[in-house]
Amino acid sequence: MKVSIENLAKSFGEKDAVNDLTLHVNEGEFLVVLGPSGCGKTTTLRLLAGFERPSSGRIVVGDTTVTDPEHGVFVPPQKRGLGMVFQSYAVWPHMTVFENVAYPLRVRRVPMKQIRLSVQGMLELVGLGEESASPATALSGGQMQRVALARALVADPSVLLLDEPLSNLDLKMRERLRHELKQVQRRTGVTSVYVTHDQSEALELGDKIALMNGGRLEQFGTPDDLWHVPTSRFVADFLGTANIVPVVAPDRLRDKKVVTAEGATIAVHGGEVDADGNGYLVVRPEAARLTSEAPVSSSDGNVWPVNVVERTRVGGVTNSRVEWGGQAVRVSALSDATQAGPGKAYLSLARNDAWVVSR
């Protein structure tokens, strides 16, 4: 079902945990709520689930308003028809895998024959088809989260809510389960809201990402939007790494050009500057190029002689620290591609990879 969060706010005493949050999730969509620790992600999810009451604002699931304090509306959690998966393995240890997953259907007094069918189908979907009779205590962390996922999905929830479900797993398992989770969501088509502080999870899983900062929505869009057309330095820097260089746009970007403090002119793709024409150039380390000779085909005129201060190789990638005018800039490239430096080199940048933000 679709979800609408409108002007949602929640304060704990003096503290505004969530502030004027408006978000829409379409039916079947996977929304990732992303942001640093303490930015209000869990509070948002708990408001959606009905574990917290908002100070103001409204939440609508499908066609049902579930929270609207102004009109005295509050639907309790158990009546919202949601599925939930948390960071901690909320699996009942004294039950088998089957019994854990069957539990929500038992509570609803679904006939046993139907329960067997649904549970077995769900266990197969999450890759636990063979583990049905195992005691839950015999499972690894990854398997326990599969059980939790199956249990959240078995009763056909209106919306699936997940709060950092992979955080307690080791890296390999986290990446594997992340991939499987996406497939399960695709196959069931369940509208999902997934909370994480991990930008790579957000980029892989999200149809849309809501990036929060200090209780507020910083930017909402597709992973591509946030990656390529960030609206602030915070967004550019939170997703991956970004070189951020203060610039001015004397023509307010109408000519798609900005100038650095050292007087270098850069052709840019677009973006925004503030009312005084000040802004910040955003360049991803992997978008800039270093060559020992000046490139023949000029990258929209964006070519400068630079000094490569340092080169470090991390696995198959080489990171270079470059002095460009008075700025320190980071450039990354696959190690097998020819790369210049240390010492004198040329830095080039395609106009399409140069973006400007106003704050």
Residues at the site binding ligand ADP, with contacts judged by CB under 6 A: 12, 15, 17, 35, 37-43
CB of 309 to Mg ion, least distance (A): 39
Residue found under tokens 């990402």: 209
CB of 29 to ligand ADP, least distance (A): 21
Q: Which two tokens stand for residue 90?
A: 């909320």
Considering the rule CB under 5 A, would residue 43 count as an interface residue with Mg ion?
A: no
Q: Return the residue nearest Mg ion (CB atom).
A: 42
Nearer Cβ to ligand ADP (13/111): 13
Instruction: Name the binder of 40 from ligand ADP, Mg ion, none, CB < 5-8 A by kind.
Output: ligand ADP
Considering the rule CB under 5 A, would residue 42 count as an interface residue with Mg ion?
A: yes
Nearer Cβ to ligand ADP (59/281): 59
The half-sphere exposure of 302 on its side-chain side, counting CA atoms within 13 A, is: 23
Nearer Cβ to ligand ADP (161/322): 161
CB of 322 to ligand ADP, least distance (A): 35
CB of 212 to ligand ADP, least distance (A): 7
Separation of alpha carbons 230 and 228, rounded Å: 6
Instruction: Name the binder of 277 from Mg ion, ligand ADP, none, CB < 5-8 A by kind.
Output: none
Secondary structure element (H or E) that encloses residue 54, with its range: none
Residue found under tokens 């503030």: 274
CB of 75 to ligand ADP, least distance (A): 21
Nearer Cβ to ligand ADP (41/289): 41
Instruction: Name the binder of 38 from ligand ADP, Mg ion, none, CB < 5-8 A by kind.
Output: ligand ADP
Q: Which stretch binds Mg ion (CB under 5 A): 36-44, 151-159, 228-236, 331-339?
A: 36-44
Nearer Cβ to Mg ion (17/105): 17
Q: Which stretch binds Mg ion (CB under 5 A): 41-49, 113-121, 138-146, 235-243?
A: 41-49
Instruction: Name the binder of 83 from ligand ADP, Mg ion, none, CB < 5-8 A by kind.
Output: none
Separation of alpha carbons 290 and 341, rounded Å: 8
Instruction: Name the binder of 12 from Mg ion, ligand ADP, none, CB < 5-8 A by kind.
Output: ligand ADP
Separation of alpha carbons 247 and 273, rounded Å: 9
In the chain, count H helices and then E strands. Answer: 8, 22
Full 3-state SS string of 83-119: EEECCCCCCCCCCEHHHHHHHHHHHCCCCHHHHHHHH
CB 142 within 8 A of CB 148: no
20, 24, 27, 164 from 7: Cα distances, Å = 4, 11, 20, 24
Strands 208-213 and 30-34: parallel
Separation of alpha carbons 291 and 343, rounded Å: 11
Strands 270-271 and 355-357: parallel
- Of the candidates 46, 52, 82, 94, which has an alpha carbon nearest to the alpha carbon of residue 69? 52
CB of 84 to ligand ADP, least distance (A): 15
Instruction: Name the binder of 80 from ligand ADP, Mg ion, none, CB < 5-8 A by kind.
Output: none
Separation of alpha carbons 64 and 152, rounded Å: 21
Tell whether the torsion through CA atoms of 260, 262, 263 and 264 is positive or negative.
negative
Nearer Cβ to ligand ADP (39/211): 39
Q: Which two tokens stand for residue 219?
A: 């930017």
CB of 18 to ligand ADP, least distance (A): 7
Residues in the chain: 359
Nearer Cβ to ligand ADP (39/105): 39
CB of 20 to ligand ADP, least distance (A): 15
Nearer Cβ to ligand ADP (39/122): 39
Q: Which two tokens stand for residue 85?
A: 């998966």
Nearer Cβ to ligand ADP (10/289): 10
CB of 240 to Mg ion, least distance (A): 22
Binding positions for Mg ion, rule: CB under 5 A: 42
